[in-house]
Amino acid sequence: NAGVMQNPRHLVRRRGQEARLRCSPMKGHSHVYWYRQLPEEGLKFMVYLQKENIIDESGMPKERFSAEFPKEGPSILRIQQVVRGDSAAYFCASSVLSSSYNEQFFGPGTRLTVL
Amino acid sequence: TQLLEQSPQFLSIQEGENLTVYCNSSSVFSSLQWYRQEPGEGPVLLVTVVTGGEVKKLKRLTFQFGDARKDSSLHITAAQPGDTGLYLCAGFGTGNQFYFGTGTSLTVIP
């Protein structure tokens, strides 16, 4: 049973370009969470999605950032017109929620470098 | 937002020593997870605790969930260099959200 997959693992973009980060959740998981992490820091929540729905995007900047989780295919985190401050590691996690026991499993992350 | 504070933020100890990491909040969580993250990798789930007062052991690691389900601790016995990493706690709370602690960076010196 494959774990959470993310690609690419490393992404280099120049200022003003677009970055697309992909996340395939674990089989059977319908909840996806995206986080951002700067070096030596903890995880910062960005967005929580279920299939075809954005549940909570309170941690995601209103401009340039968007996320989707279509009925078919991976979840996508899209950053338009990247700036140097967007350089970070971006992690996605998936979960299957039950009434009493909930766990998240993380992918290996995408390290975005903006030149 | 349900905040989780971890302490200490940084910890550097000699191999063989014991240590405890704390995860505290004023909020109640239905469950709490502990993760370890190594450089360049994603966090790896170590354990989930659900019941107030619950204690779980994973080899030399002991995890405890507070009676009121607001706090947790991670105790490592006889630390080894392989224990080095960033330890994160996360509580499952309102809005089906996982609220992450601030992290504890552990270095075990051989």
pLDDT one-digit tens code per residue, B3-38? 899 999 999 999 999 999 999 999 999 899 999 999
Average pLDDT value for chain B = 94
The helix or strand, by DSSP H or E, that contains position A39, with its residue range, turns out to be none
| pLDDT, one tens digit for every residue, chain A (115 residues) | 579 999 999 999 999 999 999 999 998 888 999 999 988 788 999 999 999 999 999 999 999 999 999 999 999 999 999 999 999 999 999 987 765 667 899 999 999 999 9
Per-residue model confidence (pLDDT) at position A2:
72
Residue of chain B whose Cα is closest to the Cα of A36:
B42
User: Which A-chain residues 42-101 have CB contacts (< 8 A) with chain B?
Assistant: 42-43, 45, 48, 55-56, 91, 93, 95, 97, 100-101
CB of A25 less than 8 A from some CB of B: no
Give the helix ranges, DSSP H, for B16-61: none
The tokens 């014991």 sit on which residue? B18
Task: Tell me if B35 and A100 make a contact (CB, 8 A cut-off).
Answer: no
In degrees, to the nearest 5, what angle opens at C-alpha B83 toward C-alphas B90 and B45?
30
What tens digit of pLDDT does each residue of B52-102 get?
999 999 999 999 999 999 999 999 999 999 999 999 999 998 888 889 998
- Cα–Cα distance for residue pair B64/B23, rounded to 1 Å: 10
Share of chain B above pLDDT 90, in %: 87
- Cα–Cα distance for residue pair A65/A28, rounded to 1 Å: 27
Per-residue model confidence (pLDDT) at position A42:
83
Q: Which residues of B touch A103 (CB under 8 A)?
A: 31, 33, 45, 48
